[in-house]
Amino acid sequence: MTDKAIPPCQAACPIHTDVRGYVSAIAKGDVEEAIRIIRQVNPVRDLSLNGVNPFPSVCGRICTRPCENVCRRAQIDEPISIAALKRFAADQTKGLKLIQQPEHYYDEKVAVIGGGPAGLTAAHDLALLGYSVTVFEAQNVLGGMLSEGIPQYRLPKDVVKEEIDFILSLGVEVKTGLSLGRDFTIEGLLKDYQAVFLAIGSQKSLFPKCNGVELSGIITAVEFLKQVSRGQRPLLGKRVVVVGGGHTATDAARTSLRLGSSEVTIIYRRTLDEMPAGREEVEDAEREGVKISYLTAPVEFLGNRNVQKVRCIEMRLGELDESGRRRPVPIENSEFEIDADTVILAIGYIPEVDALKDSRLILSKNGTVVVKDKTGVTNLKGVFGGGDVVSGPLSVIEAIAAGKKAADAIHRYFYNIPNKEFEEPLAFRSLDDSVVRLINKSIRQKMPTLPIEKRINSFAEVELGYNWDEAVREAQRCLLCGSGALVEENCAACLNCVRICPYGVPVPGREIAEIDISQCQACGICMSECSASAINLKLETKEEARATLEKVIDVAMRETPKVLIIGFYCKYKLPAGPPDGREGVYWLGKLCTGRLDVFQLIYPFELGADGVAVHMCKNEECHFRDGSRWLLTHIERAKKILDEIGMGANRLDIISEEDVSDFRKRFEDLGINPI
Amino acid sequence: MIVAEIKPFGEIKDILKGYNKVLIVGCGTCVTVCMSGGERQVELLASALRIARKIEGNEITVGERTILRQCDPEFIDQIKDEAAQYDAILSMACGAGVQGITERLGSISVLPAMNTTFIGVSDGQGTWVEVCTACGDCILYKTGGICPVARCAKGLINGPCGGSQSGLCEVSKDNPCVWQQIYARLVKLNLLHSLKGMSQPKTWPVHPRRLVREDLRLKKEPTKGV
């Protein structure tokens, strides 16, 4: 089963981003490689645009992170901070232009209605496929909810703008201020464009069926957030009650605090466990001073012209409803009142159906556009739908996924290419308890944040992002699921791997040893000891390790140093780079040096090195079990060979933490090698 | 399996004196399993040789190949063309492998890099013990599955010599007395009576032995030359 399986994070991501790929690139300190994996089509790996994300900075900040919910690291301690790492990769590579040219340019033109994440993603993918795309946006700015729905303290405007500018730089045309139904129709567009992607989102607020909802001072969260994002500062008064439990509710509450309201209460009819806003978001709101009244629903809004009180009722959770959550049931005679100068409604959204009513599109009773399948085909030929207008309000990553599917479907529609089968990818199974027990614990790096007192007086971004050290350390917590050992067919079944694996993963199979890649931790010790050289590590193959070594020595030889010293160090132990005070050494970092085999310690001499230094960590500090112990064994064997061949064992030297002093001098005293 | 160990490096270097183009050939079966002559060891020996000869100012070209078995001609043929480009082959197989290649390739020197030690079994990571001498006349059914021919220092087949003390062999105190082990095993199996009869002196075979299985032989010459 494991042949086709992928890491759980990748399987859970709606666009199946290669999370492991970019996280491991960060773990190795290669942030450019990380952003390439996130942003670029990899022609070798995958010709489709699956996985390519045009909004890494945005997703790195506000993604709902289905990946983190399934991360196997949680079996040991806490999941990897995946979104924060994506943000790090994107923030660190600002200005790096990764433009790709389409392979062909097609004649067909596509109109995208709606400049939110779904529409812009479709435009991005279609442009990369080689189509000319025009985006029609009703507002004056692009971005949809990203620009006008999410407050700046969570998602700064310049971050959104930068990602949109990148998409536009691919040659996407934009027409803002043009509204569907008012300024143009779908039928009209179809005269000039061969396909239309409808992605107008879902921004019309729902109202609770309560008396007094028409009172002044009762506003919708979407309208409120939109006003604030445009620079307006609505007068809210001291006491604000927000009704709802999603991200929009917490956004509205935290924004109210920032506008000066001192008593902000969210009322939500279920409990924290059911709250769509998510625990972290809720905790942040509470830390800033928002009160949350769970199991509370509004019954009536009281006041003269202006709202003054919200009459609420206490709820309890009853049977499961169709959404799988327990249905809230009012408790009789439990009514109470909360004072309010402003009430902000954030209980749900439907699409602006007015814009669609003249079209012949089939709509559901909720006002969403009905599509035939996941590719977004509607009842009108050439018209595709996707994003919130189809699904109802969901997350940004779902909108991006819808945009990608639509772009793919439109391309297939033009050229009669059969649809891909939307098979749900298979994820690696959970780690066995026997393996979990043996993995070192490592706590999640905390996201640095703005101090509370600085937050509530401004719209400055709350989460500050990891610094280099934090990001690399966090990335190194990744278990690199599925990057481990593959047994090749020349396995002689010596069972060495079975006997030495520190995690007990390999087992004797019928003909060869079998290593369950879903359980392998990728330490590579088996590879370094395999007599038949029949084990290769996906993380770094033997061939890659050899090529890297050759490259480093090649560079070194050209610089003709007095003595050429190759140094190996562990990137887990020293994520910031080679050990201090060791200049003049050509360093090679490894994610664990335990798999440095004897050959890699001898081969540098064949290539012209005068010395090999190995920075050693103590066994108890080892990221993998037994890594240091195996490294020592390999060094001992290599030293013996160096003596036998007349090179001298002292040309291979261990340098430890304490031994900063004159290890270089030791090599210089030995002089150039006898070759 | 056949257990072998690599010769001391100095001896290998001496063996290769005068050769400047050598193909090291590993064997993918027994010697890979006992971790002495597999692909990994070939790679390492090749590099070590190149460095050592460079230091001496007498460079050597070393090729590296590993075949599945050096005791079967069909596998040896896989290196036939390549071997023609070298002065010698350094075999990392057991003695059978060295001679297998010698027989098959004829016109090239085939040199051993290994000392073939015994037929043995694994006794934990990195340890092997001799358990069979391939005497050709198995008596394990009498001795509780423990072979005195291979495991008694004196090769006695009718009981211990009398020098056994505290269960240890008098020839080498590192070894258990195999007759003590046989006795204990037979008691445990309740088969001590199987030692009652006298084992006749073994008819030691005349070397070299040859095993011909008429039932397996092809009745006419194969169309493909083997």
What pLDDT, in 10s, does the model give residues A221-269? 999 999 999 999 999 999 999 999 999 999 999 999 999 999 999 999 9
The nearest CA of chain B is from the CA of A436 a distance in Å of: 25
Kindly report the CATH number that applies to the domain delimited by A235-344.
3.50.50.60
- In sequence order, the 6+-apart residues with CB closer than 8 A to the CB of A661 are none
Q: What does the pLDDT average to over A174-185?
A: 93
Q: Which of A492, A603, A641 sits opposite B32 (nearest CB)?
A: A492
Nearest CA-CA distance, residue B1 and chain A, Å: 11
By the 8 A CB rule, do A98 and A35 touch? yes
Name which of B8, B39, B56 is nearest A533 (Cβ-Cβ): B39
Contact A58, A117 (CB under 8 A): yes
- Structural domains of chain B sorted by starting position, each given as residue range(s) with its CATH number in brackets: 2-118 (3.40.50.2300), 139-195 (no CATH)
Of residues A530, A603, A674, nearest to B47 (C-beta):
A603
Are B48 and A645 in contact (CB < 8 Å)? yes
Cβ A614 vs Cβ A567: under 8 Å = yes
* Distance in angstroms (rounded) separating the CA atoms of residues A589 and A575: 9
Are the Cβ atoms of B41 and A531 closer than 8 angstroms? yes
Q: Which residues of A586-611 are buried (b: 16+ CB within 10 A; e: fewer)?
A: bbbbbbbbbbbbbbbbbbbbbbbbbb
- Which among A493, A496, A647 is the nearest to B51, CB-wise? A647
Specify the pLDDT at position A99: 73
Tally A–B CB contacts below 8 A: 78
The residue ranking higher by pLDDT, A562 or A601, is A601
Mean model confidence pLDDT for chain B = 94
User: How do residues B102-138 score in pLDDT, each as one tens digit?
Assistant: 999 988 999 999 999 999 999 988 999 999 999 999 9
Q: A77-120 pLDDT, tens per residue? A: 999 999 999 999 999 999 887 777 888 899 999 999 999 999 99
Ramachandran bin of A128, using left for φ above 0, alpha for ψ from -120 to 50, beta for the remaining angles: alpha
Q: Which residues of A touch B39 (CB under 8 A)?
A: 490, 531-534
Q: How far apart are alpha carbons A511 and A447 in whole angstroms?
A: 49
Q: Which residue in A has a C-alpha nearest to residue B11's C-alpha?
A: A644
**Which residues in B lie closer than 8 A to residue A646 (C-beta atoms)?**
52, 55-56
Higher pLDDT, A367 or B63: B63
Peptide bond into A418 cis (omega under 30): no
Query: How far is A240 from A291, CA to CA, in rounded Å?
Result: 10
The residue assigned the tokens 């670029």 is: A40
H/E run at residue A133: strand A132-137
Is a pLDDT exceeding 80 seen at residue B219? no
Of B10, B39, B54, the CB nearest to A644: B10
Domain A485-537 sits in CATH at 3.30.70.20
CB spacing of A599 vs B55 below 8 angstroms = no
In this complex, the residue of B10, B34, B47 whose CB is nearest that of residue A606 is B47
Answer yes or no: are the C-beta atoms of A598 and A634 closer than 8 Å.
Answer: yes
Name the percent of chain A lying above pLDDT 70. 96
Q: Does domain A8-97+431-475 have CATH number 1.10.1060?
A: yes
Q: Do the domains spanning A109-203+351-415 and A235-344 agree at the CATH topology level?
A: yes
* ipTM of the complex model: 0.89
Partners of A291 in beta bridges: A265
Whether the per-residue pLDDT at A506 is higher than 50: the answer is yes
Nearest chain B Cα distance for residue A493, angstroms? 7
In angstroms, the separation between the Cα of residue B70 and the nearest Cα of chain A is 14
Contact B43, A599 (CB under 8 A): yes
Q: Check residue A42 and give its pLDDT.
A: 58
Nearest to A531 among B10, B32, B51 (CB): B32
Whose CA is closest to A343, among A240, A272, A439?
Answer: A240
Closest A-chain CA to B37 = A531
Instruction: Convert the pLDDT of each residue in A371-429 to its tens digit.
Output: 888 788 888 899 999 999 888 888 999 999 999 999 999 999 999 988 766 567 889 99
SS3 state at A612: strand
Query: Does the distance separating the beta carbons of B50 and A532 come in below 8 Å?
Result: no
Token reading at A26 = 């960060």
CA atoms of A240 and B39, how far apart (whole Å)? 74
DSSP state of A369: B
How near does any CA of chain A get to the CA of B50, in Å?
A: 7
Q: Please give the helix or strand (H or E) that residue A338 lies within, else none.
A: strand A336-339
Residue B74: the pLDDT is 97
Judged against a pLDDT cut of 90, whether residue B76 lies above it is answered with yes
- Which own/partner contact pairs does A80-83 have at CB distance under 8 Å and 24+ positions apart? A80/A9, A80/A23, A80/A444, A80/A474, A80/A475, A80/A477, A80/A478, A81/A444, A81/A445, A81/A447, A81/A466, A81/A474, A82/A9, A82/A19, A82/A23, A83/A59
**Per-residue tokens: A11:** 């399987």
Give rounded-to-5 percent helix, strand, coil for chain B: 30, 20, 50
Query: What is the token pair recorded at B70?
Result: 């050096």
CATH of region A542-670: 3.40.50
The per-residue pLDDT for range A317-355, each reduced to its tens digit, is: 998 888 788 889 999 999 999 999 999 999 988 888 777
B34 touches A: beta carbon within 8 Å: yes
Q: How confident is the model at residue A46 (pLDDT cuts 50, 70, 90)?
A: very low
> In whole angstroms, what separates CA B225 from the centre of its chain?
28
Closest by CA to A533, choosing from B45, B83, B42, B61, is B42
How many whole angstroms separate alpha carbon A63 and alpha carbon A463? 13
Which position has the higher pLDDT, A325 or B84?
B84
Chain A residue whose CA is closest to B124: A499
Any residues with CB less than 8 A from the CB of A637 and at least 6 apart, and which? A598
Pick the CATH number of A109-203+351-415 from 3.40.50.12780, 2.40.50.100, 3.30.2230.10, 3.50.50.60: 3.50.50.60
Q: Which residue of B has its CA nearest to A675?
A: B55
Q: Which phi and psi (to 5°) does residue A545 adopt? A: -60, -40
Q: Which residues of A touch B32 (CB under 8 A)?
A: 492, 494, 531-532
Residue B25, sorted as left (phi over 0), alpha (psi -120 to 50) or beta, turns out to be: beta
* Side-chain half-sphere exposure of A655, counting CA atoms within 13 A: 28
Chain A: closest CA distance from residue B190 (Å): 33
pLDDT digits (tens, 9 = 90+) for A1-43: 446 799 999 999 999 999 999 999 999 889 999 999 998 765 4
Taking an 8 Å Cβ-Cβ cutoff, which residues of chain A contact chain B?
A: 490, 492-496, 499-500, 530-534, 597-599, 602-603, 605-606, 641, 644-647, 674-675
Residue A335 phi, psi (nearest 5): -65, 145
Residues of A in contact with B38 (CB under 8 A): 492, 494, 531-533
First-to-last CA distance in chain B? 25
What pLDDT, on a 0 to 100 scale, did the predictor assign at position B225? 55
Q: What share of chain A is helix, strand, coil (3-state, %, to 5)?
A: 35, 20, 50
Question: Per-residue pLDDT averaged across A474-493, rounded?
Answer: 95
Q: For chain A, what is the mean pLDDT?
A: 91
- Position A391 scores a pLDDT of 87
B32 and chain A: CB distance < 8 Å anywhere? yes
Q: Please, how many CA atoms are within 13 Å of residue A252, restricted to the half-sphere of its CB?
A: 32
Domain residue ranges in chain A? 8-97+431-475, 109-203+351-415, 235-344, 485-537, 542-670
CB nearest A531 (choices: B10, B40, B52) = B40
pLDDT at A45 over 60: no
Residues 123-142 of B with CB under 8 A from A: 125
Minimal-distance CA residue of chain B relative to A542: B40
B55 and A675 within 8 Å at the Cβ level: the answer is yes
A chain contacts of residue B125, beta-carbon cutoff 8 Å: 496, 499-500
B1 touches chain A (CB under 8 A): no
CB-based contacts of A152, cutoff 8 Å, min separation 6: A229, A459, A461
**To the nearest whole angstrom, how far is the Cα of A568 from the nearest Cα of chain B?**
19
Backbone angles phi, psi at A397, to 5 degrees: -70, -30
Q: For residue A467, which phi and psi values (nearest 5 degrees)?
A: -85, 180
Q: How far apart are CA A133 and CA A37, in angstroms?
A: 25
At A65 the pLDDT is 94
Q: How far is A599 from chain B (nearest CA, A)?
A: 6
Residue A636: helix, strand or coil by DSSP? helix
